[in-house]
Structure 1
Amino acid sequence: MIDSLRGDVIGRYGVTPELEKFSKTSYVFANHLVNAAWTRPSTLVFFTGKYASRNPVNFWDYPTPQNEVTAFYESELFPLPKLLSQNGIDTVMVGNNPFVTDKNGLGVNVGFQILHEYSHLSNDTPQITKKSLEVITSFSEAKKPFFFFLNFNDPHKPYTPPSGFRERIKSDEIMEERKRDYLGEVAYIDQELSVVFDALKKKGLWDNTCIIITADHGEVMHPEHAISPFTGTNTFFGHGQDLFLENISVPLLIKFPNQTTSTIFKNRTRSIDLYPTVLELLGMQKKSDIDGESLFPIIRGEETKKRLYYGETRSTQGIGIGDDFLLQRSYRFHELGRFWEGGVGRETFYFYDVSKDPEQIHPIRFLDISEIKNSELANDLKTKIESLWSRIRLTEPNLTRYTIRLNPGRFNQGILKAVARVNVGRIRILKKNISSCLEISHSERELTVLWNSDKSKQLENKTKDSEVVFEVYPDVTFPSFHLFQNDLEITNGNLGAGSFDLTPVGCRLNCETLYDSPIGAPRPTNEIRMQVWRSGNNKKEYVRSDKLETDAVNILRKQGYIQ
């Protein structure tokens, strides 16, 4: 993995002779997109085959709170390095990627048996190459199957190429000095790869090894994208703040053992597809529910469909089919922390036809798909957008949902009122199952359900349960629940939490776990009672520990993540 290597660099500027040579004996996937736009979520996509939102580690803020780390180990049982190690394959990582270890509060351990991680060094590339040669020698002597993850951080910013490498650029393009420095680092890494490749050949490993070359994300270099329309952040010569093609389009080259010819595929491929491809290569079955599909049907010429693209990064969700891309400013996966304090703004859509606008600088903007009905947009555009959005309900099963059920029981006089409140984000009603005697009202941060006994007198069954399902958007705080009888709040004994209908009296720490529903909805009661339960696969704690140690802060600062 070559950090920040854009998909349009190889063969274009004269700085990639080794990669060009490699591509002549490998499969070249010319339309390859990553499903996340900065290193940690993108790396986890590689190693799980799942979209970033499907594992517990946030892709919004840099720290990984302990509850996220613990949840990752409990839910992600088969990350690729761990799965291969369990099947007799030696797994080793050499590189600069602070997010594949849990030792500094920035990431999680994905299961490498041996890990040489150099993000603490200022000049890491020479040490990465040196250690790689040692590892290759050990592989040749051991004569055992191995999985070797080599992760160069260059050409990640800050761009500081060694002397002489900028001079290798061959282009008439008028370019910024930062781009020259970036391409100089690409030239540097290309030369380092030649050293690694030579070692594989000399040690007799070249012809019986599958080699995959790719990147975790691209880099924003178009002036029109300098200020992200999704986060408002200056991301010029950076990444992680949008899902524009220049940020998600990266190389993918795969050389199989004894391969001597090249084939170029123009099919859309995604980084979620690498995990199942490696498993099929090794004749192994997947052990978890993944989102990716093996690339072998494309290689064998059997695939006729167009693979759907879906991506996530800070404040952005994006989907694409063919040339149609729909990006949305989204707060869906936000986390309280360094960069966000809970405000939810306008969630604008941006539609692009990249066959006509390949640089994505002339979007059609709108706030809601429904507004297209009376807009100036053509009917075929509306159809395209609805088709795109209807095909992506990927994260819905994982969303945290809350259900309020109001059981009026023998309540015969006045108003019974259930209230849910949040102090961050907003409440969004998802489903209502109510009778005529109920009224629902809600503001951004409060939901109220009223039972009016005067309206219920004619009902034979006054204990008929009525339910309202809602989410807290984004899911960053646990709501408080209250029950009122004629405007007087009644005790917690009338609040049943979770599928076991527990009473959370006296609970002060992590009380939200009482509300989980592992066995489904509780039984309705024949008494004055409010029942509340939480469902969904991403149930979580809402207290974040965002204090980073000095070493972690220095790593982020050195790599240009923070100032």
Structure 2
Amino acid sequence: MLKFLRFFFSFLILSLCLCSPAPKQEISSFSKLKKPDVLWIVLDSFRGDLIGRYGVTDELEKFSSQSYVFKNHLVNSSWTRPSTLVFFTGKYASRNPVNFWDYPAPKSEAEAFYVSEPNPLPKVLKEKGMYTVMVGNNPFLTDRNGLGVDVGFESLNDFSHLTNDTPVITRKALDVVSQLSERKKTHPQKNFFFFLNFNDPHKPYTPPPGYDSKIKTDEILDEKKRDYLGEVAYVDDQLKIIFDTLKEKGLWDNTLILITADHGEVMNFAHSISPFTGTNTYYGHGQDLFLENIHVPLLLKLPHQKDHKTIVTRTRSIDIYPTILEVLGLKPRSDTDGKSLIPVMNGSETKDRMYYGETRSTQGIGRENHFLLQKSYRFHELGKFWEGAVGKEVFYYYDIQRDPDQVFPFKFFDISEVKDSALTEEQKRKIEALWKEIRKIEPKLPIYHVRINRGANDPSMLSCKVLISAGQIRMIDSFPETDILQWNKSPRSLELIWNSDPSKKGKTDFIEFSFEVYPDVSFPNFSFFVNGVRKNEEKLGIGSFDLSPNGCYFNCESLFDAPIGSPEPSSETRMQIWRVGANKKEYSRADRLETDALEILRKQGYVQ
């Protein structure tokens, strides 16, 4: 019996050893063995449902067989400039001062970017001793043309001025690979960060002859989609040429290679007219946050990786920056919105990550199968197509398990409408939770605080007026109207009338109220009246230091900021104003967005 028990337990232990999965390899150990090089490839407008579907992605399928394949990867914006800045900062687009309403990026925005974003990825890696080089078509990676910002590449080769840019980009990429190979011979410890940005398959879709013949599908395709897929086949061929050269030059094995896109492309006719901007976006992008616009591929090959793993949990483009830092063995940054993907890759994290995105006129948030998209004026800029009026901000709720193509939304104008709707109780709870979450994440607007000091002279009536030229005044707290306090409000004006209170005769006191300008495109004009007579600006005190704005003519708005808190109440009859929170330093610009955009893009050759 004892022999039998020994045999039984020995057999049991052996069986468990044979059946248990092999110990997981520590992913970050790659960087400890030998610091890797990095090749980051972006394919513009490349949808997330293409690889392996139409017969035009042979090289990408081959690459997928030896990489991590993220099947549910979403970008946090849906056009190139904000999406690229998300790549290189690991932050939501609204966290930096460069607008994503239209193409021009005024000098003031670029300068503000350099102050608020001191650590874009190429700059960080260059400071860590890596050689950083960009090749491709992305006019938003330099501040020389009024379209973008300099993110710190040591060498930048942009071919957005060319019509037929793809073959030129490939040739230059091959030159760079050869140069990197030569560098390795003389400086073997000098690693590189190579950012390769193909504009294909971005429209206009003009594949070389014969590439559309590679398409294999039973789907009925219109001419535009055939041309789009032809460009996918074309850029797939270019990747093969570059990959073969990397292997030939000995740069393949020790390189972290990731392939993704900056956004997708709208091809569902139900989305042809954006409900957020009202513009035609069929075979376009940037006007919404539908899944077909934000779902893109992410393929990631670690150094020396030979096997394949599919990741089905949701990930975001804000996660790429911290992932690269971790693989390189660099200290993570605490100011990013994203998190490293290493826990997802090694299986220690299995839940979908929360999604939040921003683009023109749109905010979106998603948890599990529940997505809430909102038409938003928060990111608007004055220009040809928006003169400052704020309208209804419509919400669209989608349960993508039941409606994967997002064509049957529940539409509402206010969160209170959800309660009495025909939705399930679970859906109602999800919508309310998403609504609260988006309010926490969205960029905060500067808040203006106004204090009216009665003073010792006991005036019988004090009043103030606030006027803006665009947007809408929104009160932070509501004040009841009484015999003493009277309010006159409109979207662009606010008046408070404060009558004398006989019970407070001889006492110095004050009243305060707060408001925001939505969106933050207009600096308020303030007026102060004592017994119906308008007072000069010496009766106004601004900012933490209660300064007088009298005589200020240049960038006066910044004087209103309160870096050390509110000023002390005044003992004289006086109105004090201070501004707190995120803010812009100037509200006037030399160009008007949209009016000048096409001319700027034509000068750069980005449009013909």
TM-score bin (small chain): over 0.9
Q: Note if contact 2:133-2:155 (Cα within 8 Å) is conserved in structure 1.
A: yes
Q: Note if contact 2:468-2:492 (Cα within 8 Å) is conserved in structure 1.
A: yes
Deviation, 1:63, is 0.4
Residue 223 of structure 1 pairs with residue 264 of structure 2: no
Match of 2:601 in 1: 553
Matches within 5 A, 1:47-446: 47-143=88-184, 144-287=190-333, 289-395=335-441, 398-431=444-477, 437-446=484-493
Q: Note if contact 1:213-1:253 (Cα within 8 Å) is conserved in structure 2.
A: yes
Which segment drifts farther, 467-476 or 111-120? Answer: 467-476
1:515 aligned to which of 540, 551, 560: 560
- The residue type equivalent to 1:552 in the other structure is I
d(CA) in 2 for partners of 1:473 and 1:117?
A: 37
- The residue type equivalent to 2:523 in the other structure is F
Match of 1:543 in 2: 588
Matches within 5 A, 1:22-33: 22-33=63-74
1:444-502 alpha-carbon deviations (Å, 9 max, x no partner) = 1111222111xx22248843332211111111010100111222211111111111111
d(CA) in 2 for partners of 1:477 and 1:325?
A: 32
Q: Note if contact 2:254-2:303 (Cα within 8 Å) is conserved in structure 1.
A: yes
Which segment drifts farther, 513-522 or 435-444? Answer: 435-444
Q: Note if contact 1:66-1:545 (Cα within 8 Å) is conserved in structure 2.
A: no
d(CA) in 2 for partners of 1:201 and 1:551?
A: 43
d(CA) in 2 for partners of 1:390 and 1:248?
A: 22
SS in 2 for 1:531: strand
The gaps in structure 2 that reach 5 residues or longer are 1-41, 185-189
Q: Note if contact 1:434-1:466 (Cα within 8 Å) is conserved in structure 2.
A: no
SS in 1 for 2:323: helix
**Shift in CA distance, 460/253, structure 1 to aligned 2, threshold 3 Å:** farther
Q: How high is the TM-score relative to the length of structure 2?
A: 0.89
1:345-404 alpha-carbon deviations (Å, 9 max, x no partner) = 211000000000000000000001022233444433221111112223455564211111
d(CA) in 2 for partners of 1:15 and 1:550?
A: 33
**Shift in CA distance, 269/62, structure 1 to aligned 2, threshold 3 Å:** same
**Shift in CA distance, 312/45, structure 1 to aligned 2, threshold 3 Å:** same
2:537 aligned to which of 474, 486, 492: 492
Match of 1:457 in 2: 502
SS in 2 for 1:200: helix
Deviation, 1:340, is 2.0
Residue 534 of structure 1 pairs with residue 579 of structure 2: yes
d(CA) in 2 for partners of 1:470 and 1:120?
A: 45
d(CA) in 2 for partners of 1:426 and 1:331?
A: 10
Residue 468 of structure 1 pairs with residue 468 of structure 2: no
**Shift in CA distance, 405/296, structure 1 to aligned 2, threshold 3 Å:** same
Q: Note if contact 1:434-1:468 (Cα within 8 Å) is conserved in structure 2.
A: no
1:209-230 alpha-carbon deviations (Å, 9 max, x no partner) = 0001000000000000000000
d(CA) in 1 for partners of 2:375 and 2:493?
A: 24
The gaps in structure 1 that reach 5 residues or longer are none
**Shift in CA distance, 322/127, structure 1 to aligned 2, threshold 3 Å:** same
SS in 2 for 1:417: strand
Q: Note if contact 1:54-1:395 (Cα within 8 Å) is conserved in structure 2.
A: no
Matched-pair identity in %: 60
**Shift in CA distance, 441/330, structure 1 to aligned 2, threshold 3 Å:** same
Q: How high is the TM-score relative to the length of structure 1?
A: 0.96
- The residue type equivalent to 1:75 in the other structure is S
Q: Note if contact 2:92-2:357 (Cα within 8 Å) is conserved in structure 1.
A: yes
Which segment drifts farther, 10-19 or 283-292? Answer: 283-292
Q: Note if contact 2:134-2:157 (Cα within 8 Å) is conserved in structure 1.
A: yes
CA RMSD of superposed structures (Å): 1.9
- The residue type equivalent to 1:103 in the other structure is R
1:85-125 alpha-carbon deviations (Å, 9 max, x no partner) = 00000000000000011111100000000000000011111
SS in 1 for 2:123: helix
**Shift in CA distance, 356/480, structure 1 to aligned 2, threshold 3 Å:** same
Which segment drifts farther, 528-537 or 87-96? Answer: 528-537
Which segment drifts farther, 518-527 or 120-129? Answer: 518-527
Deviation, 1:305, is 3.8
- The residue type equivalent to 1:345 in the other structure is G
d(CA) in 2 for partners of 1:287 and 1:380?
A: 37
Deviation, 1:56, is 0.4
1:13-49 alpha-carbon deviations (Å, 9 max, x no partner) = 0000000000010001100000001000000000000
d(CA) in 2 for partners of 1:438 and 1:522?
A: 23
